[in-house]
Amino acid sequence: VFAEALSIRDRKADPLGWALDMANAANLDVALADRNVDYARFKAAEDKLVQALVYIDPAVNRIEWAQAKNNLAIALRAQGANGRDVNQVRKALGIYEEILPIFDRKTFPLDWGTTNGNIAVALTNVGALEVNIGEFEKAVGYYRQAFEEVTRARAPMFWSKLQNAYGMTLQIIAAMKSDNAMLEEAAKAFRAALEVRTRDVNAELWAESQQLLASTLSSLASAKSDPALSDEAIAAYKAAREVFTRDAFPADWRSASAGLASALQGKGIL
């Protein structure tokens, strides 16, 4: 539909209309790229949004400009994280920080929460790429702000995605600081994610969260010498391996298998 509109609409005669059609086409690209983990499509969306933003004046069309910038940041962050390009991720981070004041909490509560969540994810990416605990710790604050408005009832899929990312961030900080309280909070976040990330809805995401929960519980079990936590970790690893089979997901299967073996050894089973 948007492609058809772009072919009909004259950019010279109606530059704003053309730009908004271009931005809408890019927004669809971002949604599909995010769903299918398609980095070529993220790049296509980036190119469209850069063109569209030339004609969207933030002084006149403030919200449309912010929405287009938001999707540009999503595309940049995804590509930067995948390509291990911290400058690209930081560029996305700068865009999110630029648009956050536009999505004020009182008028746009969900957009405000979503933008805080996107900032948190970008900071987590920067922390991972720079091995910088300070960035991870900053991310935690943004995740917590995001959850004030991004609730399971309002946006279940994004909420579960953020819970999973929040848990991963806490898990990393906990490993760096030997902090059992953060491990416990990470386990809570993964369990929350699994309330929405069920096997029936998306088996791969369910298995991902199961494996992350398993590794967190395994670390807690070792720290606390708690056999019950070991049993939970073993069960979660086994659940993950039901989806992460050797043929379909060899890398994930190896990771889950190694974690399971370690947990079993900790119990004295292997």
Q: Single out the residue of 144, 143, 218 nearest to residue 174, CA to CA.
A: 218
CATH of the domain spanning 2-200: 1.25.40.10
* Rounded-to-integer distance, Cα 83 and Cα 213, Å: 26
Say what the pLDDT of residue 8 is: 52
Do the beta carbons of residue 188 and residue 232 sit within 8 Å?
A: no
What is the model's pTM?
A: 0.92
Say what the pLDDT of residue 10 is: 75
* Rounded-to-integer distance, Cα 136 and Cα 133, Å: 5
Three-state SS for the chain is CHHHHHHHCCCCCCHHHHHHHHHHHHHHHHHHHHHHCCHHHHHHHHHHHHHHHCCCCCCCCHHHHHHHHHHHHHHHHHHHHHHCCHHHHHHHHHHHHHHCCCCCCCCCHHHHHHHHHHHHHHHHHHHHHHCCHHHHHHHHHHHHHHCCCCCCCCCHHHHHHHHHHHHHHHHHHHHHHCCHHHHHHHHHHHHHHHHHCCCCCCHHHHHHHHHHHHHHHHHHHHHHCCHHHHHHHHHHHHHHHHHCCCCCCHHHHHHHHHHHHHHHHHCCCC
End-to-end alpha carbon distance in the chain? 58
Say what the pLDDT of residue 3 is: 54
* Rounded-to-integer distance, Cα 203 and Cα 250, Å: 16
* Rounded-to-integer distance, Cα 8 and Cα 3, Å: 9
Q: Measured between alpha carbons, how far is residue 143 from residues 43, 98, 132, 151 in Å? A: 26, 18, 17, 12
Q: Single out the residue of 75, 68, 69, 73 nearest to residue 38, CA to CA.
A: 75
Say what the pLDDT of residue 269 is: 63
Per-residue model confidence as pLDDT tens for the chain (270 residues): 455 555 556 788 899 999 999 999 999 999 999 888 899 999 999 999 999 999 999 999 999 999 999 999 999 999 999 999 999 999 999 999 999 999 999 999 999 999 999 999 999 999 999 999 999 999 999 999 999 999 999 999 999 999 999 999 999 999 999 999 999 999 999 999 999 999 999 999 999 999 999 999 999 999 999 999 999 999 999 999 999 999 999 999 999 999 999 999 987 764
CA torsion through residues 149, 152, 154, 155, sign = positive
Say what the pLDDT of residue 209 is: 99
